[in-house]
Amino acid sequence: MPSNLKLTFLGTGEAFDEELPNTSILYDTGQTRLLMDCGYSIPHQVWKQSTDPNFLHGIFLSHHHADHAFGLPAVLTRMWETKRSLPLTIIGHAGTQEYVHKLMEIGYPTLISRLEFPLEFIDVHAGDQIRFRELELSFAQSIHSVTNYSIRISYQGKTTCYSGDGSFSEATKALFKDCDFLIHESFSWERVVYLHASIQELLEMVKEQNIKTYCLIHIQRDFKKKVWNFLKDFQQEPFKLLVPKPGESVYL
């Protein structure tokens, strides 16, 4: 029986890639659609999926950088314009509500006070485990220039993890343990920027943590053209490797 759990990669790029939209993933169980990150090039990708203003049930913000959050004013304003009626939940670390209000005030002043649907916020902390609709969510902090939370989503025995940005920490390694599908920023082969992930280190971590599938996203824009030259020798590893393109979907 085919799975009803679908992951769609709306974008897979790093912040300044001229070809790829920002990294953003739509997690869809058929009952709940959770958008993971919403950068400045993502709103149009969301609308390509559906123009229904009630399409999304929640948005998770891994951190407060522009390529992961600056699409929110457009997404929320179109929901208002097209008469959304259902509540929308935004999940993020402490301070996310204030951050979103500031973004909205810059993008569309006074609009947030005129939304005709409930906008709800869930503040989470490292180590938290919460329930969102039928999903079990857990969080851990990565190593990045600002606070960034990785997320683990459990649903019907399947576990999906998304790193947000940054290098993995001991806490995120534990979060990823035994997961079915890890989506991790994979900026470069070697550690060229301390606060971004190295694929060499990730390959070892994935093996150690018994991860079934490792999905590479947020690859540095020049390195992405040659990433498979580096990965070709790893095809016999005890896990699957994916480098998705924007618009691709995976069923778990």
Amino acid occupying residue 119:
L
Q: Give the global pTM.
A: 0.96
Q: What are residue 29's DSSP bridge partners?
A: none
Residue 214: CA atoms inside 13 Å, Cβ hemisphere, count?
26
Task: Indicate if the pLDDT at residue 240 is higher than 50.
Answer: yes
What is the model's pLDDT at position 172? 98
Task: Indicate if the pLDDT at residue 28 is higher than 70.
Answer: yes
Task: Indicate if the pLDDT at residue 187 is higher than 50.
Answer: yes
Residue 39: CA atoms inside 13 Å, Cβ hemisphere, count?
25
Task: Indicate if the pLDDT at residue 99 is higher than 60.
Answer: yes
The closest of 234, 147, 154, 138 to 186, measured between CA atoms, is 234
pLDDT tens string 46-80: 999 999 999 999 999 999 999 999 999 999 999 99
pLDDT band per the 50, 70, 90 thresholds, residue 193: confident
pLDDT band per the 50, 70, 90 thresholds, residue 2: low
Q: CA 218, CA 21: separation in Å to the nearest integer?
A: 10
Task: Indicate if the pLDDT at residue 98 is higher than 50.
Answer: yes
The closest of 195, 203, 199, 205 to 219, measured between CA atoms, is 199
Task: Indicate if the pLDDT at residue 235 is higher than 70.
Answer: no
Residue extents of the structural domains in the chain: 6-243
pLDDT tens string 117-144: 999 999 999 999 999 999 999 999 999 9
Task: Indicate if the pLDDT at residue 1 is higher than 50.
Answer: no
For residues 108 and 115, the answer to whether their CB atoms sit within 8 Å is: no
Mean pLDDT of 7-19: 98
For residues 160 and 174, the answer to whether their CB atoms sit within 8 Å is: no
Mean pLDDT of 32-44: 98
What is the model's pLDDT at position 238? 85
DSSP 8-state assignment for residue 87: -
Instruction: Flag the least confident range among 26-40, 138-152, 192-206.
Output: 192-206
Q: CA 245, CA 52: separation in Å to the nearest integer?
A: 24
User: Which CATH number does 6-243 carry?
Assistant: 3.60.15.10
Task: Indicate if the pLDDT at residue 208 is higher than 70.
Answer: yes
- 169 burial (CB, 10 Å; 0-12 / 13-18 / 19+) is middle
